[in-house]
Amino acid sequence: MQALVGIDIEVKAGEFLSLIGPSGCGKTTLLKSIAGLQPVEAGRITIGARAVTGPGGAEASLVFQDFALLPWATALENAEFGLRLRGVPAAERAVAARRALAKVGLAGSFEQAYPSQLSGGMQQRVGLARALAVNPQVLLMDEPFASIDEQTRRILQDDLLRMWSEERKTVVLVTHSMEEAIYLSDRVVVLSPRPGKVHRVFEVPLPRPREALDVRASGEFARLVDELWRILKKMQ
Amino acid sequence: MKFAAVQEPAFGRGGLAAIGALLAVWEILGRMELTIFVPPASAVAEAWWGLVSTGTLAKAGASSLLSLAKGFVPAAFLGVALGLAMGRFRTVRYLLDGWINALMSAPLSALVPVLIALFGIRDTVVAATVFLFSFFVIVVNTMTGVRGTERSLVEMARAFGASEAALFARVYLPSALPAVMLGLRLGAVQAVKGMVVGEMLISLVGMGERLIYYGNTFLIPELYAVIVSVLLVAILSSTFVQTCERALVRWK
Amino acid sequence: MKVALLRGASLVAFLALWQWAAWVPVSFNFPTPWATLAALAALLGSGALLQATATSLQSLVLGFGAAIAIGVPLGLAMGVARGFGRVVRVYIDLLIALPTAALIPLVILSFGISIAASAVIVFVFSAPFITMNAYGGVRDTRPRLVEMARTFGASWLQLFGRVVLPSALPMILAGMRLGLSRAFLGLIVAELLLSPFGLGKLIMNSRSMFEHDKMFATVLWTLILSGAALALLAKLEGRMLRWRA
């Protein structure tokens, strides 16, 4: 049984796209395929001009739900990790990593902390900094805030939007949360399960910058969430 | 975890194949007569059979197994009891864990001369050595098992008004059981090691004595035969404990 | 505070028990705690103890060093090449199940009564545990970390050096600690049986001359020595693994 069939999506440059759907719809598989971790049997994935043939390309980097930080490395060393693997010299690495950590709000004394000394939210910031430090075209995020408490999650979501509006990277985010999908994205792709197919592509015409406006309180937001819920409910 | 993980041996079908390969290589190397210290497996098998038929192995084995039982059974009962107490009551733990930890990683063989001073050169020393070698492993594993009981389970039982005894029997004990069993299995292997060390040092009875004897008299195939027998005793002891364990679980 | 009190109390209780044992006729061989300490001081003063220690440590360092030098790479190889690991694991499991002391007469026959023999015995006692711990450390690498490194383009060598090896380090160090305690065990058994060397010789000589206070003193010294070595290793371990929660 194939995980995904007939996926034909075009993601615009600088767009914020979410993937949502019930369990078994293959959203994580799709994300990993874009990252090059999962081979594609039929068809192609291209980022920009280049086709994705394997992991570790310069085009995309991944942010994980369980943070996937090296426990024996400091926040700075973790943020440098992608650059280190690419052979970037130490001084340059540190500069880039520090810049990335600053972008995610972790400048200063946090650099020397080990993951065991950091809260979940802070660890994910490090994970995000690591992904940004290699300057990818596409940021892939696999339920990045699922293991984080709601209050921290909201702060992180706003910080993510702030960072995104500055960097204008293309983001593909997998989530279970309808609110998160609507709040963050330009478009939401709803996948249906067994096998995974594109069920609907959902436009989110809410104004930006959403972190500055009180978007969650608006009637439009509630309506969109409700519409998304209806779509998902029918699939259960 | 404070104590290094000693993984349990896992012998499966693949294991038997690997052992078979070892025996084959052994036979070949032995036939090549590279050194008198490596006789072919067949010579060892022959010697082994010889020991069995003359009753030597039976006599030595019986003495060894008796000492093993005399040492391991008290170690098991006392070890589990102490481990439970130490796991459950902080006071007991603070009183004794210094000793337990210190002795667990100490070269217990150094204490055998002390045991000889205590008991004289008798087979009681062997049982005492068996006890020492297995006791601490059992205590530590039992204690870890009890301490690893989920706090939420204990609180839940307390909320339902469970008495101390009920708490022990229905929450701590079942939760600690896998660790206790692991401790007993590891203890069984350690017990056999203690048995051999004790017997070799007093050089009086049992399979350990035979090892010294055949070593001194250069009877090498016989020496190997006893080594293999000792290994079998070790494996069988552990298997025995495992079987008891399964029987206990089924009975529950 | 309470903890220290309890620990102190148990030490006092132990000494009292020991003192009592020395008086009771059953174990008339027992020297009193005081006599033991006096003998210990005498032995240290005469240099006999330190000389014996130096000899013993030679075998220990040789055997334990070899066990690390061979055991760790072997364990790592076993973890990386799974098929190899599955086969070799059987032999090592057998070595671990086997009462290693049983191999001592064989080693003595092959190597004679020498420091080499003691070193080999120490090696056989400690190497299997070091190997299996290194093996386990590699196998326990979190798959997620490997996946993460792959997304950043890690080569096979980088995966091994930057993810697997640091990840396995805690277990490797724990294995060394276990190996060291086993090494001491093997050393003492070897020397008690071999006699011409080191601390074991001192113990056996004192016993045969009925100088029980000297014997107890040497045993005590041996236990202190091994305890100190293990504590040192544990401290080193703590230093290297500062990042742990």
| pLDDT, mean of residues B150-172 | 85
In a domain, C185, yes or no: yes
- Cβ of A85 within 8 Å of Cβ of C245? The answer is no
- State chain A's mean pLDDT as an integer: 90
Q: Which of C105, C177, C184 sits opposite B107 (nearest CB)?
A: C184
Residue A235 has pLDDT above 60, yes or no: yes
> Do A84 and A16 belong together in one domain?
no
End position of a domain, from candidates A135, A163, A181: A135
C150 touches chain A (CB under 8 A): yes
What pLDDT sits at residue A149? 93
What pLDDT sits at residue A88? 92
Domain with A129, as residue range(s), is 69-135
**Number of domain units in chain A:** 2
What proportion of chain B, given as a percentage, has pLDDT over 70? 94
C contacts of A115 (beta carbons < 8 Å):
243
| pLDDT, mean of residues A10-31 | 89
Pairing of strands A187-192, A197-203: antiparallel
The DSSP code sequence of B101-117 is HHHHSS-GGGGHHHHHH
| pLDDT, mean of residues B91-106 | 87
Mutate to test the interface with C, among A32, A63, A85 (most CBs of C within 10 A): A85
Domain with residue A198: its CATH number is 3.40.50.300
Mutate to test the interface with C, among A72, A123, A126, A143 (most CBs of C within 10 A): A72
Residue of C nearest to B226 (CA): C102
Q: Are C191 and C207 in contact (CB under 8 A)?
A: no
- Cβ of A73 within 8 Å of Cβ of C148? The answer is no
Closest CA to C115 of C64, C65, C55: C55
> Do A49 and A9 belong together in one domain?
yes
| Position A120 confidence tier, pLDDT thresholds 50, 70, 90 | very high
Residue of C nearest to B90 (CA): C3
Q: How far is it, in rounded angstroms, from Cα C198 to Cα C59?
A: 9
Q: How far is it, in rounded angstroms, from Cα B179 to Cα B138?
A: 9
**Number of domain units in chain C:** 1
pLDDT in tens, A57-89: 778 999 999 999 999 999 999 999 999 999 999
Closest CA to A140 of A68, A33, A212, A216: A33
> Do A77 and A43 belong together in one domain?
no
In a domain, C71, yes or no: yes
Q: How far is it, in rounded angstroms, from Cα B19 to Cα B26?
A: 10
Phi, psi of B240 (to 5 degrees): -60, -50
Residue of C nearest to B107 (CA): C185
Residue of A nearest to C158 (CA): A85
Listed in sequence order, the residues at least 6 apart from C119 whose beta carbon sits closer than 8 Å to its beta carbon are C58, C59, C62, C63, C66
What pLDDT sits at residue B3? 40
Q: How far is it, in rounded angstroms, from Cα B240 to Cα B224?
A: 24
| Cα-only R_g, chain B | 21
Compute the nearest-CA separation of C154 from chain A (Å).
6
| DSSP H or E stretch at residue A20 | strand A16-20
Superfamily of the domain at B39-251? MetI-like (1.10.3720.10)
| Position B251 confidence tier, pLDDT thresholds 50, 70, 90 | low
What pLDDT sits at residue A94? 95
pLDDT in tens, C50-107: 988 998 999 999 999 999 999 999 999 999 998 899 999 999 999 998 999 999 999 9
CB-based contacts of C208-215 (< 8 A; 24+ apart in sequence): C210/C29, C211/C39, C212/B117, C212/C29, C212/C30, C212/C31, C213/C31, C213/C35, C213/C36, C213/C38, C213/C39, C214/C39, C214/C42, C214/C43, C215/B113, C215/B114, C215/B117
What pLDDT sits at residue B194? 94
- Cβ of C243 within 8 Å of Cβ of A81? The answer is no
In a domain, A64, yes or no: no
> Do A124 and A178 belong together in one domain?
no
Distances (CA, A) of C190 to A17, A225, B117, C146, C196: 70, 76, 19, 44, 10
C contacts of B102 (beta carbons < 8 Å):
223, 227
Domain with C156, as residue range(s), is 52-240
What pLDDT sits at residue B67? 93
End position of a domain, from candidates A109, A135, A161: A135
Q: How far is it, in rounded angstroms, from Cα C126 to Cα C175?
A: 9
Q: Which residue ranges of chain C lie beneath pLDDT 70?
A: 25-29, 195, 245
Chains C and A physically touch (3 or more Cβ atom pairs below 8 Å): yes
Mutate to test the interface with C, among B94, B124, B214 (most CBs of C within 10 A): B94
In a domain, A80, yes or no: yes
What pLDDT sits at residue B8? 55
- Cβ of C185 within 8 Å of Cβ of B102? The answer is no
pLDDT in tens, A129-160: 999 999 999 999 999 999 999 999 999 999 99
B contacts of C187 (beta carbons < 8 Å):
107
Q: Which two tokens stand for residue C44?
A: 């240290």
> Do A217 and A130 belong together in one domain?
no
| pLDDT, mean of residues A106-122 | 92
In a domain, A174, yes or no: yes
> Do A182 and A162 belong together in one domain?
yes
Compute the nearest-CA separation of C125 from chain B (Å).
11
Is pTM beyond 0.80 here?
A: yes
Q: How far is it, in rounded angstroms, from Cα C78 to Cα C107?
A: 26
- Cβ of C149 within 8 Å of Cβ of A116? The answer is no
Q: Which of B105, B226, B235 sits opposite C97 (nearest CB)?
A: B235
3-state secondary structure (DSSP) of residue C145: helix
Q: How far is it, in rounded angstroms, from Cα B45 to Cα B190?
A: 26
Q: Are B140 and B183 in contact (CB under 8 A)?
A: yes
Q: Which two tokens stand for residue B164?
A: 């101390």
B contacts of C32 (beta carbons < 8 Å):
none
| Position B4 confidence tier, pLDDT thresholds 50, 70, 90 | very low
Compute the nearest-CA separation of C234 from chain A (Å).
18
Q: Which of B109, B189, B218 sits opposite C109 (nearest CB)?
A: B218
Residue A218 CA, distance from chain mean position:
25
In a domain, C9, yes or no: no
Q: Omega before A195 cis (within 30°)?
A: yes
What pLDDT sits at residue B88? 87
Q: How far is it, in rounded angstroms, from Cα A71 to Cα A118?
A: 11
Enumerate the domain spans of chain B: 39-251
- Cβ of C189 within 8 Å of Cβ of B37? The answer is no
| pLDDT, mean of residues A33-46 | 86
Phi, psi of C203 (to 5 degrees): -65, -50
Distances (CA, A) of C80 to A235, C18, C74, C127, C164: 44, 51, 10, 19, 9
What pLDDT sits at residue A5? 82
Q: Which two tokens stand for residue A236?
A: 């259960």
pLDDT in tens, A155-185: 999 999 999 999 889 999 999 999 999 999 9
> Do A129 and A51 belong together in one domain?
no
A contacts of C162 (beta carbons < 8 Å):
70, 81, 84-85
